[in-house]
């Protein structure tokens, strides 16, 4: 690692440093080396992307090269870029993240989209986002549904600190009520819509998640079949859903049948529907009042 760090910390221009880092990330099979090397270099230089491109042929100072080398080394050791730079974009908004919260995934935008679809057809005055993590789902919905009161719960106090910082950053602290506790337990009233991206990774798949060891296991692990938390949430739903309310759950690949059956047995009066993400994977199961 020391050799690698010193090899990125060469003299030359920003462009040279970037090219070298991109090669190193590519050699380590990091998925998007071109983008990630830019993300790390802009962070090291404390510049935005436009500034970087304008100054591409400027010489990198030894301090800047050393700082960039440190960030690249962290990435080569497997730490996700979102944690290194401290933020990640989701649904067009920027969220602070740290190792106490899951990094928002693009496929989770589907749950936001389906919630907005539901809100077109029926009045939704209250929403609960269960296991909110950094608050990405709750805050995206708060932006798009300005009349709605939102609760966001998490069992992790450290995660709620991150969510709170994000609520402030997005100016929605007065509309999102953060509650610490287990699943639906802390909700003070029934709500019109429950959304949740709960931990759903099975025990055998846990170490295959490529951020394993960096993201909190608590936010990923769903027990032997991945459905421990989802099952428990279902057992609490009837007390916390308003009459005519709906539930949207993010699920893992291959879980549509099991989660659909679970909901159908527990709530025979509801319509159960699965929604597919951009990769063609059944990613959200909805329990919709009809």
Phi, psi of 153 (to 5 degrees): -110, 155
Cβ at position 229, least distance to ligand GLN in Å:
9
Cβ at position 256, least distance to ligand GLN in Å:
15
Residue 209 makes contact with ligand GLN by CB under 6 A: yes
Q: Name which position in 39, 41, 71, 201 contacts ligand GLN (CB under 6 A).
A: 201
Residue 133 makes contact with ligand GLN by CB under 6 A: no
Q: ∠204-84-74 over CA atoms, to 5°?
A: 75
CA-only gyration radius of the chain, Å: 21
Q: ∠279-281-284 over CA atoms, to 5°?
A: 120
Phi, psi of 286 (to 5 degrees): -110, 140
Residue 226 backbone class (left: φ over 0; alpha: ψ -120 to 50; beta: rest): left
Size of the site for ligand GLN (CB under 6 A): 9
Nearest residue (CB) to ligand GLN, 59 versus 223 = 223
Phi, psi of 277 (to 5 degrees): -85, 180
Give which of 139, 125, 154 is closest to 88, Cα–Cα.
139
- Which residues ranging from 95 to 114 are in contact with ligand GLN (CB under 6 A)? 105
Cβ at position 207, least distance to ligand GLN in Å:
12
Q: Name which position in 76, 194, 220, 285 contacts ligand GLN (CB under 6 A).
A: 220
Q: Which residues contact 290 (CB under 8 A, 6 or more apart)?
A: 270, 271
Q: Of the listed pieces 58-66, 82-90, 141-149, 194-202, which binds ligand GLN according to CB under 6 A?
A: 194-202
Eight-class DSSP state of 177: E
Query: What is the Cα–Cα distance from 114 to 283, expressed in whole angstroms?
Result: 11
Residue 281 makes contact with ligand GLN by CB under 6 A: no
Residue 199 makes contact with ligand GLN by CB under 6 A: yes
Residue 130 makes contact with ligand GLN by CB under 6 A: no
Residue 166 makes contact with ligand GLN by CB under 6 A: no
Q: CB neighbours (10 Å) of residue 57?
A: 10
Nearest residue (CB) to ligand GLN, 129 versus 250 = 250
- Which residues ranging from 229 to 258 are in contact with ligand GLN (CB under 6 A)? 250
Nearest residue (CB) to ligand GLN, 9 versus 102 = 102
Cβ at position 163, least distance to ligand GLN in Å:
16
Residue 197 makes contact with ligand GLN by CB under 6 A: yes
Q: Of the listed pieces 13-21, 175-183, 197-205, 258-266, which binds ligand GLN according to CB under 6 A?
A: 197-205
The residues facing 96 across adjacent strands are 87
Give Cα separations from 175 to 39, 149, 150, 183, 220 (angstroms). 32, 6, 6, 20, 27
Q: Which residues bind ligand GLN (CB under 6 A)?
A: 105, 197-201, 209, 220, 250
């Amino acid at each position: 690692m020391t050799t690698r760090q010193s090899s990125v910390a060469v003299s030359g221009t920003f462009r040279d440093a970037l090219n070298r880092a991109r090669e190193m990330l590519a050699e380590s099979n990091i998925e998007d080396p071109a983008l990630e090397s830019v993300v790390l270099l802009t962070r090291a230089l404390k510049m935005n992307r436009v500034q970087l491109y304008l100054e591409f042929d400027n010489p990198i100072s030894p301090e800047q090269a050393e700082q960039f080398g440190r960030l690249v080394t962290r990435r080569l050791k497997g730490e996700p870029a979102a944690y290194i730079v401290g933020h990640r974009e989701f649904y067009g908004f920027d969220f602070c993240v740290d190792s106490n919260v899951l990094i928002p995934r693009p496929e989770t935008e589907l749950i936001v989209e389906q919630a907005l679809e539901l809100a077109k057809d029926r009045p939704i005055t209250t929403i609960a986002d269960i296991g909110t993590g950094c608050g990405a789902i709750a805050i995206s919905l708060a932006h798009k549904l300005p009349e709605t009161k939102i609760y966001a719960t998490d069992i992790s106090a450290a995660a709620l600190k991150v969510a709170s910082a994000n609520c402030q950053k997005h100016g929605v602290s007065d509309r999102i009520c953060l509650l610490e506790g287990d699943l639906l337990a802390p909700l003070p009233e029934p709500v019109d819509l429950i959304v949740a991206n709960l931990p759903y990774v099975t025990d055998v798949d846990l170490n295959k998640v490529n951020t394993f060891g960096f993201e909190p296991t608590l936010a990923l692990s769903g027990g032997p079949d991945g459905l421990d938390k989802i099952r428990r949430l279902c057992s609490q739903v009837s007390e916390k859903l308003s009459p005519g309310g709906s539930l949207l759950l993010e699920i893992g690949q291959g879980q549509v049948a099991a989660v659909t059956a679970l909901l159908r047995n527990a709530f025979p009066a509801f319509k159960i529907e699965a929604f597919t993400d951009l990769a063609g994977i059944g990613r959200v199961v909805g329990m919709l009042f009809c």
